[in-house]
A and B are shown apart, each in its own frame.
Chain A
Amino acid sequence: MNKEQLKAQLKQQIIESLNLIGVKPEDIKDDTILFGEELGLDSIDSLELIVLLERKYGIKINDPKEGRKVLIDINTMADFIEQNSSKQN
C-alpha cells in the first residue's frame, strides 16, 4: 500500500470509527485539522483514534505528548503509521 492509499484508507476508517454523519472521505483533506473547527473532533474522539491506531495498525501511543503530535491531520497520522506500523492493512 502506498502513502496515498494509506491516507484514503485512514479517512474511511476515521469516518466509520467516529460515525461522522454526513462526512465523506473527500471532505477530509490531507491537511484538514482533526481537532478544532474544521472537523470538530473532541477529546473522546482522540481516545477513539488512539484505539483505532492500535487495532488497525498495531501501534500503541502511551505518551499523551506523542498523541498530540500524531493526531494533527491525516498527513501526520499517515507519517506516524508508516514509521511505526507492525500490521498495516
Chain B
Amino acid sequence: MLYIHSTSCISAQHTFDDVNFDVLNPVVENKLVAVEPNSNQIPNAVLRRMGKAVRMGIKAALSIVNNQSELKGIIIGTANGGMEDCIKFLNQIIDYDEGTLTPTNFVQSTANNIAAQIGLFTSNKNYNITHVHRGLAFENAVIDAMMLVKEHPNSTFLLGGVDEISTYNYTISLLDGLYKNEEGKNNDLYETETAGSVAGEGAAMFLVNGKKQNAQATLKAIQTIHTTDEITVEANLKDFLATHLADGEKLDLFLSGENGDSRLSKYTKITEKIADITTLRYKHLTGEFPTASALSLWFACNFIETQKVPTNMVKSGSIPTEINTILIYNNYTGIQHSFMLVSR
C-alpha cells in the first residue's frame, strides 16, 4: 500500500501548474513533445549542460520536493535516461576516431543522472536509485518504493518516471516498428489499423509514504508480467483483481494503455473485457514511451482528487458520478505488462 501525497507531471499537454485537458497540443511529425516549464530553481550554468530528460525530471521533482527536506529516498524509473546525450557521445567516438572526447555528453547520458541531480539539488544523501527495466522501469521503481514504505511507513520517498524522445533513438525505434510510418492526429491514433504508435516523452513525480491521512490517492497494488500471450495477461488480471479488490469494492474506471498499435489491440481488448467498466485512454495525449505508465498513475491521482474526467479521454461507457477505484493497465511493445490499482 502506497499513499500518494503530492504529484507533478510534465507531458506534451497542459499537465504542469495549470492543468487543462480541454486544449490538446497536437501530434507533430508523429511525436508528442513535452512542454517544458520555465524554472528559476535551476541556475543557467547547470541547466545548460542538462539533457531534456534530466531537466524534466528535476523540474517535476522540485515542484513537489521543495518543502520535503527529510526525503528518505529518491526512486526513479527511466528506460533510457539521457538518450540524446548518450547517442551524441557515441557519435563523438566515431567522428573523432576514439580521440579526445568531451565529458558533458557522457556525464549527462547516464540513466542515474536524473535521480543523482535531484539528490544534489535537494541536498539529499539518502537512498538514491534508478530502475531501468525498459517498459517496466517505472513499475519496478513503484515496487521498490512499496517495499521501502512497508519497512519505513512514516518516511516519505520521491518516486518518479522519466523518459525523453531522442532524435536518433526515434529513428531506430521507427525502423523497429514502434512508431507509425504514416502521420496522424491525436484523435486518429486509435482509428488507424496499422502497426506502431506515436512517440512521447514526459516525467511524473510522486511523494509517497505509508500515512493515509491527507493522501491524494492510494496505490493499493501493482503487478508486472513478461509475456506475449494474451491468455496469460487475462489470467493474471483476473487473479490481480480477485486478490486486491476488497469485498464489495468495484472498479469505477479502467485506464488503458492502448496506444493505437494494431498488433497490441488483443491485449487492450481482453483487459477491457475483464475490467468491464468505463474505459479511458491517454496515449493520444502523452504518446508512447517506456515510462508512460508513470503518467497514467498521475492521471489516476488527478481523477480521484478532482473527481473529474476529461471527455476526450473516454473510450467507452459513461463518466461515473463518484471516482473511488481505478484500474490501470499498460503494456510496452506487447512484452512487458503491468496492472496498478489506485483508490481514494
Contacts and interface: CB of A to CB of B under 8 A. Distances in A.
Interface string B83-111: 00000000000001001111110010000
A20 B101 contact: no
Interface stretch (B43-51, B210-218, B228-236, B312-320): B43-51
A82 B119 CA distance: 44
Contact of A44 (B44, B49, B99, B101): B49
Interface residues on B, range: 10 to 19
Contacts of B47: 21
A18 interface: yes
Contacts of B45: 40, 42
Nearest to A41: B45
Interface in A41-67: 42, 44, 47-48, 50-51, 54-55, 60
A21 B49 contact: no
Contact of B48 (A19, A51, A60): A19
A79 B162 CA distance: 45
A21 to B, nearest CB: 5
A44 B103 contact: yes
B128 to A, nearest CB: 21
A11 B99 CA distance: 24
Contacts of B100: 50-51, 54-55, 60
Nearest to A52: B102
Interface of A: 18-22, 40, 42, 44, 47-48, 50-51, 54-55, 60
20 contacts: A18-B48, A19-B48, A20-B48, A21-B44, A21-B47, A21-B48, A22-B44, A40-B45, A42-B45, A44-B49, A44-B103, A47-B102, A48-B103, A48-B104, A50-B100, A51-B100, A51-B101, A54-B100, A55-B96, A55-B100
